[in-house]
Structure 1
Amino acid sequence: MSLREIKPGNRGYLYLNSHPAGCATVVDRMWQQLPGPADDRPGPVALVVGASAGYGLAATLTGLRSHRMRGLGIAFEAPGTVRRTASAGWYRTARTAELAAEAGADFGFLNGNAFSASVKAEALDRLAARFGKVDLLIYSVAAPRRADPLTGEVHHSVIRPLGADYRAKSLVFEDDAPRIGGLHLPAAEPAEAEATVQVMGGADWQLWIEALESRGLLAEGFRTVALSYVGSEITAPIYRAGTIGAAKQHLEDTARALDTRLAGLGRAHTVVAGAAVTQASTAIPSIALYTSILHRVAGDGWQTTADQAQALWAQLTGPATATDDQNRIRLDAWELDPAVQAAVGTVWEQVDTDTIADTADTTWFRDQVAQLYGWNVPGVDYTTPVETAVPWPTVL
């Protein structure tokens, strides 16, 4: 037992600890927003790589709650220690597993580095023994580094522009008050761009497909999707036209190659999601300000990760898949609506410290970041001691 009262510790948008009850409540709230299954038939056997956060978590909860998904989720999370809490994703996964069990879902979770050959082998061993073939692979991984399983070389991703330096406005909080700051990032070196592609591109996704294929685990009608993002012209220099964008382009190129490879057996697509506040997105310069403005402008048109995950599952389980001219499933029409982008652009150009409170949802954004780690969650009593030594769910 490790029952104690804990308080948030953070440096800007980076929280150094998490709250178990807060993380569990975040999962509960998303679960309650999702519709139940349409019937009692067992759902697809799915492998979700990156199931503990962001769109991967939303897709996992939607699959379990609404589509009776079976299978395995993979996450790479840190357990608690005597001095520190477990990672937020650890607590979210523990609660997701409890909800899955209560719903009667045959679904387990494996904690390990999805980039490694050993985790791939263990995951496929477990899936083969329990289910046989796999119907669906959802790939939603964001990581700062990746070791090449063939060479052992460790690649480190960077968030940099390509070709020219990047200067832009940013959102900064001082004593809880928002203000407009400035940032300057030098252009990436070619080696940095290539390393980012190696970490965040399609190389590891392809290795998962090849591993499934080599084991004979691809079911007829197999589907696989990987999460991507395009975003606004406002953020393009640091995102789509930057090192991350190069990685996303590689991911999308990989999808088209995989789709050709799977012809006659299955399909592969990237999924272009809309903006969201996630642990990955908060690391991208200027995204905080852009997202705060977008949320204010979009209003009721804002699409949560749960909303978008439901739209994705509708595509995955429907009779046909709607894609753009680059064979991508698009979930971002609400964000890239021309009227929305025009309004966001006007605010972006004019906003300053004096007007930011009236033109951007900065308090909402700050709370959303805190809730990623289980803090500032409505209904949670943070003065009550809580058990921090939560066990990892039993693996299949």
Structure 2
Amino acid sequence: MKVEMKLKGNMARSVNPYGCKQEVLNQINYVKAEGDYEGPKKVLVLGASSSYGLASRITAAFGSHADTIGVSFERGPKDESMLGTAGWYNNIFFREFAEQEGLIAKNFIGDAFSLEMKEEVIKYIKESFGGKVDMLVYSLAAPKRTDYKTGITYSSALKPIGQEVSGENINLEKEELFTQVVEPATEEEIEGTVKVMGGEDWEWWIELLKEADCLAEGFKTVLYSYIGPKVTHAFYHDGSLGVAKEQAEESSKRINENIRELNGQSLICVSKAVTTKASVVIPILPKYLICLYKVMKEQGIHETPIMHKDRIFRTMLYGNEANYDEKGRLRPDSWELSDDVQRKVNDLMAQLTPQNFKSDLTEYQLFKKEFFNLNGFEVEGNTINEVDFETLKAMKP
């Protein structure tokens, strides 16, 4: 059966499993080419199946030779019209490549927010993973979260606060630039976004791991955040998601107190804008991305998720080039937010029209290709575009 890219708006409705395999291998090869570094050895990644979470897992495993546990919510193949999610196959092929190197690569598929998943992971750490982890990466992006202490389910909403925001966005399916109006978030939506995208669940993970004596001396944990430039603040940093990220910063402070006796460290890492399944559906952001990529590529500093996270791990989290701001946040996004880059991006955005946004004026084609790569399509090195359903069905994460 031949597989082809299918889109609905800015969401993929198909997957090429073997393209996913090649994309994972391409990221592994990038890390290997950068050489080894002294980093973590026992790593737990929450949200491990794609983008920043997967990149973190790959750099830890193939740059620092770390054993890893990945937790993610993914779906396997159901029938020939529903082959599962890209993350399902990323997990499978990451495990295969890691095990070929003699590394432990355990995948847990399910709800990372649940108490059951936390208990299952802790049991595995104690019985089969050496008893302790020295690094936890929190990279969850989800639309909903059920608070297991109350049973209440919350939903996130990426909306501005106190104002309606209008701007131009990109529809990948129709390949058009259109005007989008985003209504302000309600108080309920703000609360829900904080519950889903804030740091409460991160704190609960750390508390339970510590209570179970599963945190190593010198333990580190990091949550990935994004601030972005002023042009995106109304619907992002100053919106409901920004409130959630501010709450995560408070969580980080409490985590630092909790792990002080272990000489541990909790960090908020403010990452740069990259192409992810989440970023392409954030209102208005894709227009900014195609201009940002053009400017950063011309300056030789454009980064994909694996390039960005590998740099962070080897030079900042476990290196001597950490760049902190006044709030103690790690700021590898400084390349993106430099005055020179932002000035050129703003100038470029002002020139865009529905007629020219796909031209060489921007990096629309790169943005589109990176999105396709997330789903296993147009991946460099992959030549397999046909699959056998029964073979896929037999694959286990």
Normalised TM-score (structure 1)? 0.93
Residue equivalent to 1:296: 294
Cα distance in 2, alignment partners of residues 25 and 390 from structure 1:
19
Question: For residue 162 of structure 1, what is the aligned residue in structure 2?
Answer: 161
Q: CA deviation at 1:349?
A: 2.2
Amino acid at match of 1:312: I
In 1, Cα distance between equivalents of 2:27 and 2:103: 17
Equivalent-residue separation in structure 2 for 1:257 and 1:23 (angstroms): 38
CA distance, structure 2, for counterparts of residue 179 and residue 80 of structure 1: 31
C-alpha change, 1:221 and 1:237, in structure 2 (3 Å) is same
Relative to structure 1, the CA distance from residue 310 to residue 7 in structure 2 (aligned partners, 3 Å threshold; closer, same or farther) is: closer
Cα separation, 2, equivalents of 1:392 and 1:10? 26
Q: Tell me, in whole angstroms, the C-alpha distance in 2 between the residues paired with 1:38 and 1:85.
A: 36
Q: For residue 381 of structure 1, what is the aligned residue in structure 2?
A: 383
What is the CA-CA distance between 1:381 and the residue it aligns to? 3.4
Correspondence list, 1:180-259, <5 A = 180-259=177-256
Residue 338 of structure 2: aligned partner: 337
Instruction: List aligned pairs for 1:57-72, cutoff 5 A.
Output: 57-72=54-69
Gaps of at least 5 residues in structure 2 are: none
Deviation, structure 1 residue 43: 5.0
8 A Cα contact 1:228 1:270, kept in partner: yes
Deviation at 1:160, TM superposition (A): 0.7
**Does the 8 Å CA contact 2:39/2:60 hold for their aligned counterparts?**
no
Cα offset for 1:99?
Answer: 0.9
Question: Which of these residues, 278, 281, 302, is aligned with residue 280 of structure 1?
Answer: 278
Tell me if structure 2 keeps the 8 A contact 1:5–1:382.
no
Do the aligned partners of 1:167 and 1:185 also contact (CA within 8 Å) in 2?
yes
Once the two structures are TM-superposed, the CA of residue 209 in structure 1 deviates from its matched residue by 0.3
Offset, 1:390: 5.0
Number of the residue aligned with 2:85:
87
Match of 1:19 in 2: 16
Secondary structure of the structure 1 residue equivalent to 2:372: helix
* Larger mean Cα displacement after TM superposition, 8-17 or 46-55: 8-17
CA contact (8 A) 1:167 1:184 kept: yes
Distance 1:57 1:174, change over 3 A: closer
1:355-366 aligned at under 5 Å gives the runs 355-356=356-357, 357-366=359-368
Query: Quick check: 1:179–1:352 contact (8 Å CA) kept in 2?
Result: no
Structure 1 residues 302 and 82, CA gap change in structure 2 (3 angstroms):
same
SS in 2 for 1:240: coil
User: Structure 1 residue 57: deviation in Å?
Assistant: 0.4
- Render the CA deviation track for 1:157-187: whole Å, top value 9, x for unaligned: 1111011001011123575xx4431010111
Residue type of the partner of 2:92?
A
What code does the residue aligned with 2:306 have? A
Q: Distance in 1 between matches of 2:248 and 2:39?
A: 31
Whether the 8 Å CA contact 2:7–2:172 is kept in 1: the answer is no
For 2:349, the equivalent position in structure 1 comes to 348
Q: Is the 8 A contact 1:7 1:382 kept in 2?
A: no
Contact 1:8 1:17 in 2 (8 A): yes
Alignment root-mean-square deviation, CA: 1.9
CA distance in 1, matches of 2:191, 2:293: 33
Deviation at 1:264, TM superposition (A): 3.3
The answer to whether the aligner puts 1:76 opposite 2:88 as a matched pair is no
Is contact 1:297–1:343 with CA below 8 Å preserved after alignment?
Answer: yes
Deviations 1:363-382 (A, max 9, x none): 22122212211122234335
Structure 1 residue 278: deviation in Å? 0.3
Counterpart-to-counterpart distance in 2, 1:383 and 1:132: 42
TM-score by length of 2: 0.93
Does residue 47 (structure 1) correspond to residue 44 (structure 2)? The answer is yes
Distance (Å, rounded) in 1 between the aligned partners of 2:36 and 2:368: 36
DSSP-derived class of the 2:336 partner? helix
Distance (Å, rounded) in 2 between the aligned partners of 1:124 and 1:279: 29
Please tell me whether the aligned partners of residues 224 and 271 of structure 2 are also in contact (alpha carbons under 8 angstroms): yes
Distance 2:213 2:256 in 1: 17
Task: Count matched residues.
Answer: 387
- One-letter amino acid of the counterpart of residue 32, structure 2: P
SS in 2 for 1:342: helix
Shift of 1:132: 1.1
Q: 1:151 — aligned with what?
A: 150
TM-aligned CA deviation for residue 318 of structure 1:
3.2
C-alpha spacing 1:383/1:318, structure 2 compared with 1 (3 Å): closer
Matched, 1:105 2:103: yes
Judge conservation of contact 1:77–1:112 (CA < 8 Å) in 2: yes
